[in-house]
Amino acid sequence: MENLSRKQNPYNDGKVIDSCGLFGMMSLKGNTFSGEDAMTAIANMNIRGNGLGGGLAAYGIYPDRPDQYALHIMYENGRGREETEAFLKESFEIVFNEEVPHRDSATGVVNPPLVWRYFVNTLGSIKEEDQDDYVVEKVMFINTKIHDTFVFSSGKNMGVFKGVGFPENIGHYFCLEDYQGYLWTAHARFPTNTQAWWGGAHPFSILDWTVVHNGEISSYGTNKNFLEMYGYFCTMFTDTEVMAYAVDLLIRQHHLPIELMAKVLAAPLWSEIDRMPEDEKEVYTALRQVYAGLLLNGPFTVIIAHQGEMIGLGDRIRLRPLVAGLHKDMLYLSSEEAPMRLVCRDLEYSWIPKGGEPIIGRLETNEVIYQDKPVVVGMDKNANTSSA
């Protein structure tokens, strides 16, 4: 670890806050592909990480069990596993479980814990409309009450794979070239405020929401307190965790469209709201008042994913980079353009989005939405981009 740190931070600065690499790729038609391209792309941005954290999320990888929650769980010791499995047997119907396949011979992976996955159904007494809330409640219980155990992925037909190492090493460790998914996100981490450990790597996830993040959120304490009022307990002590929970609360529980979710996290300034037409002014004033505790202060770029959608979003003054690209049915999001062109040499269109404006790739409609309208390949870039 000391050698890696010295290599990536030769001046031994106490804090490095402008790094972290993000990458996402999605087939808008739902075509599946292995994790190799995502691993290749994120490896191209190793300068943005330091080997202290990396990971990938993949969607559509469990087609034989699409309706079961796939719980990925890390264990530090046998006692934690024993207690957790007893709790799972009481709380769920366990359909199948196994150790997550991995390569013990993989290089660059540091102190791996035991990682197990459980495919589960909720109990018959749980109404269908309450199942997601039930799973969140049980995940929060395990992560706060059972020692040496961490549920880091809990969605359907998707999974998170992460740990201490460069992301391509983590992908190789978990054999991700053998999986087939229609959406992959990846993260190369440069920890700024928290120590490196397997649970603290990105992506962060709840149900099928995943978030990879570059930046530093100074509003963590306020965000954390707001989320705890709704039953989300932040155990990782990292700003990215609050983003995953905030997205789940705003979209799944409070039914906000993605466009308005983005305006909560990357809120317009009050001076901008004052200049809006009256109907818009009323909406955005209400959002800032009701969700003041979820406003994200500080520089950030995130790639958010869940079943059927991939979303890119940056802070309003674009203090962290994000580039988008399109080729046929493929949408790419990345911290840099080079990784996109490395895995797609015929990229048809790329642009730098405006701060605070979400990019949304949708499987259902096979389209990309930006600034509330579909992106048309070949359009005038000046109409859809900004360098500020």
Half-sphere exposure of 62 (CA within 13 A, CB side): 24
Helix (H, G, I), strand (E, B) or coil at 50: coil
Which H or E run contains 138?
helix 131-145
User: In sequence order, what are the beta bridge partners of 22?
Assistant: 187
Burial class of residue 252 in the structure, from the number of CB atoms within 10 Å of its CB (0-12 exposed, 13-18 middle, 19+ buried): middle
Is residue 20 among the annotated active site residues? yes
Burial class of residue 127 in the structure, from the number of CB atoms within 10 Å of its CB (0-12 exposed, 13-18 middle, 19+ buried): exposed
Residue of 20, 175, 234, 344 marked active site = 20
Closest listed residue to residue 146, CA positions, set 238, 228, 73: 73
Chain centroid to Cα 172, Å, comes to 19
Cis peptide before 203 (omega within 30 of 0): yes
Contacts of 384 (CB under 8 A, 6+ apart): 351, 353, 370, 371, 375
Q: How are strands ordered across the β-sheet holding 69-75?
A: 92-99, 114-122, 69-75, 149-153
How far is Cα 172 from Cα 161, in angstroms, rounded to an integer?
10
Contacts of 39 (CB under 8 A, 6+ apart): 56, 167, 168, 171, 172, 176, 177, 186
How many other C-beta atoms lie within 10 A of the C-beta of residue 375?
A: 20
Question: Which of the residues are catalytic?
Answer: 20
